[in-house]
Each structure stands twice: as structure tokens, then as C-alpha cells.
Amino acid sequence: MTDTPIRFDDGAAYERMMGIWSAKAGEIFLDWLALQKNLSWADIGCGNGAFTEQIVRHNAPSRVEGIDPSEGQIAYAKTRAATGMAHFRIGDAMALPYDKDSFDAAVMALVIFFVPEPARGVAEMARVVRPGGTVAAYAWDMNGGGFPLEVILKELRATGLSPIWPPSADASRREEMMRLWTDAGFENVETRRIDVTRTYLDVDDFWNAAPGSASLKAALAKMDPAQIAELKARVRVHLHEEADGRVTVSAFANAVKGRVRT
Ligand SMILES: C[S@@+](CC[C@H](N)C(=O)[O-])C[C@H]1O[C@@H](n2cnc3c(N)ncnc32)[C@H](O)[C@@H]1O
């Protein structure tokens, strides 16, 4: 693994690769949170607004603030039809530009493993959510092999190449989520696993979307065309192609939620 930073600079490419995955897992996550309508939400690491849009559709919030360090992602988020009522800005999970007790809920969807100091990010969410409010997160189980493009990462490793790894991948483990939330002092802490599948038109459809993953884009950029072709051939072996060419890929994430002490 290398310590090259993973950069999200292309909201449209992210949408092709992760938007659909994010929507599928995000829906299960929001159902599990079971929060009522008309609440104020902070969407930390909102990216290109894929999950923000789901909050709007699923929970009819009174207010949503999305924050992300990536200008490219924020620019895309602002173009989404359903996010018209949301407000987006550039910022960092570890230093939220909001006052204490500003929100009813704060969430990190597919973000906690990118935050250099997860405990600081969790403490910031606890600070900006009112007593009795909800702080929650979900993330692909990176160490457990839950990332949607795990089959590519695995083959990269097998060929001796190092995928770029999120700096805080450990925070995507269910036990670590429980520890972070318990240490932060939340009440009623619960965790769960989220399983999702996605069907691609064919192997090319799966493969061509992959560079939308910032970590894979960085890894592929360091390879020559022959290496990339070999990697694709190795990946193809693991994908079960239906008679019409379609391939279905599985992924799983872990989620955590807790209530700010009253
Ligand atoms: C995988 S995307 C998730 C986007 C969106 N929440 C979703 O569910 O589709 C991860 C996002 O985390 C953002 N991110 C990385 N480091 C961050 C930090 N320190 N604070 C806030 N967001 C961060 C990235 O810019 C990126 O947009």
C-alpha cells in the first residue's frame, strides 16, 4: 500500500463508478437510521451529492448542509436536481465550520476511512449535533474485502502492485466503529453490516467505470497499457458473465449510529 493521497476531483466519473453503489447502500443506511422528516442534517464528506440527494428524497429534511474538501465533487453536487434545498461548501470533517448543537443529525457516508483522524471527525460531528440527535456513518469494509472493486484491488496486489489505500481504512471495521462511537460518548450505539449487489451490462461496463474510484485511478495511472490489459484479463476470470454478458458484483459495508447524550 502507498501513502499517496486519494483525491476526488471528478464528480461525473465518481457518479459512474460509485453513484449507483452509494445510492444502493445509502438507502439501506437511511432506512436503518429511521429518522423522522423535517430534521436538519449535516452531510460530512458529501462528495458529489449522491447521498445528499438521498437524504432529501428519503427524509424531506428542513435543512441540509453538505461539506467536502473537493471542489470538483462540490461543483457536481450543486448540479443535482434534488439537492436544490441543500447548501454545499468546501471544508474538512476535522474542523467543521458550524456552531455547537446546529443539527439534528450528522452523517458520514463512505467517508470515515478518508479522514486522517477519524476520532477527531467523530468528535466534530458530536459537537455540531444537539443532545438527543443522531451521529452515524457507513463505509465499505475495506479490510474485510467489501469494497465494490475489491476484485480489481486483489489482482493488483497479486501482481505485486500497490493499490492506494484510504489512510484510515481500519475505521471501516465494525468493531472499530463501535469503539469510536463508544469512546466519543454516544448513547444507544449500534452497528450493522450492509450488503449490496450491482449488475453491469458487461465486463467492459464494470471495467470502464473503475477509474471513477479515486484509489484505482491513481493506481492505473502508474501502469503501462500492457500491464492494464493484463490486469483486466485477470479480473475477468473472477467475474461471472451471464449468457447476455451481464456481470453482478457484490459489496458490503459497515454502519454505526449513536445518540448524542442528553
Ligand atoms: C467515497 S466519497 C463519498 C461521497 C458521498 N458521501 C457518497 O456517499 O457518495 C468520499 C468523499 O470524502 C471526501 N473526503 C476526503 N477527506 C475528507 C475530509 N477530511 N473531510 C471531509 N470529507 C473528506 C472526499 O473528497 C470524497 O468526496
pLDDT tens string for the chain (262 positions)? 444 566 666 667 777 778 889 989 999 999 999 999 999 999 999 999 999 999 999 999 999 999 999 999 999 999 987 778 999 999 999 999 999 999 999 999 999 999 999 999 999 999 999 999 999 999 999 999 999 999 999 998 888 877 778 999 999 999 999 999 999 999 999 999 999 999 999 999 999 888 777 778 888 888 899 999 999 999 999 999 999 999 999 999 999 999 999 9
| Whether the CB of 8 sits within 6 Å of ligand 1 | yes
Three-state secondary structure call for residue 60 = coil
Take atom 3 of ligand 1 and give the residue whose Cα is closest: 110
Query: Does the residue 202 lie in any domain?
Result: no
For CA atoms 236, 238, 243, 246, the dihedral sign is negative
CA of 28 to the centre of ligand 1 (A): 19
Cell numbers for 72? 470538483
Type of residue numbered 15: E
The reply to whether 189 falls in a domain is yes
Choose among 261, 31, 15: nearest CA to 127: 261
For residue 9, the model assigns a pLDDT of: 66
Residue 44 CA, ligand 1 centroid: distance in Å: 7
Residue 102 has a pLDDT of: 98
> What is residue 5's predicted lDDT score, i.e. its pLDDT?
60
In a domain, 216, yes or no: no
Task: Give a yes or no: residue 50 inside a domain.
Answer: yes
**H/E stretch holding 105:** strand 103-109
How is residue 101 written as a grid cell? 448543537
What span, in angstroms and rounded, lies between the C-alpha atoms of 26 and 64?
16
Tell me if residue 54 falls in helix, strand or coil. Answer: helix
Residue 212 C-alpha cell reads as 471513477
CATH for 83:
3.40.50.150
* Pair 11, 75: CB distance under 8 Å: yes
Count: domains in the chain: 1
pTM of the model as a whole = 0.92
Nearest CA to ligand 1 atom 17: 115
Question: What is the 234 CA–ligand 1 centroid distance (Å)?
Answer: 30
Q: Could you tell me if residue 215 is inside a domain?
A: no
Residue 247 lies in a domain: no
Task: Give the HSE-up count for residue 126: Cα atoms under 13 Å, Cβ half-sphere.
Answer: 20
Distance 203 CA to ligand 1 centre (A): 27
Cα–Cα distances (Å) from 187 to 134, 135, 180, 248, in that order, read 10, 10, 12, 38
Best residue among 111, 115, 124 to mutate for probing ligand 1, ranked by most atoms within 8 Å of CB = 111
Closest residue CA from atom 15 of ligand 1: 114
Residue 72 Cβ inside 6 Å of ligand 1? The answer reads: no
Assigned domain for 33 exists: yes
Query: What DSSP designation does 9 have?
Result: -
Contacts of 235 (CB under 8 A, 6+ apart): 151, 152, 155, 203, 207
73 lines ligand 1 (CB under 6 A): yes
Q: Which domain holds residue 27?
A: 11-146+166-197+253-259
Residue 16 lies in a domain: yes
Cα distance between residue 40 and residue 228, in whole Å: 45
Q: 259, 186 in Cβ contact below 8 A? A: yes
In one letter, which amino acid is 148? P
Angle at 234 between CA 232 and CA 236, to 5 degrees: 70
